[in-house]
Amino acid sequence: MKKSCYISFKSIAFIAVVLVAVAFIINNSSVVLKQFYPIKYKEQVYRYSEKSNVDPHLIFAIIKAESGFDPDAVSRKGARGLMQITIETGCWAADKLKMSEFNEDDLYDPDINIQIGCWYVAWLMKQFNNDTDLVIAAYNGGNGNVSKWLKNKEFSKSGQTLEKIPFKETDRFLKKVKNNYSNYKKLYERGS
Which residues are catalytically annotated?
A: 66
Distance CA 114, CA 57 (A): 13
- The 10 Å Cβ neighbour count of residue 143 is 17
Listed in sequence order, the residues at least 6 apart from 26 whose beta carbon sits closer than 8 Å to its beta carbon are: none
3-state secondary structure 88-154: HHHHHHHHHCCCCCCCHHHHHCHHHHHHHHHHHHHHHHHHCCCCHHHHHHHHHHCHHHHHHHHHCCC
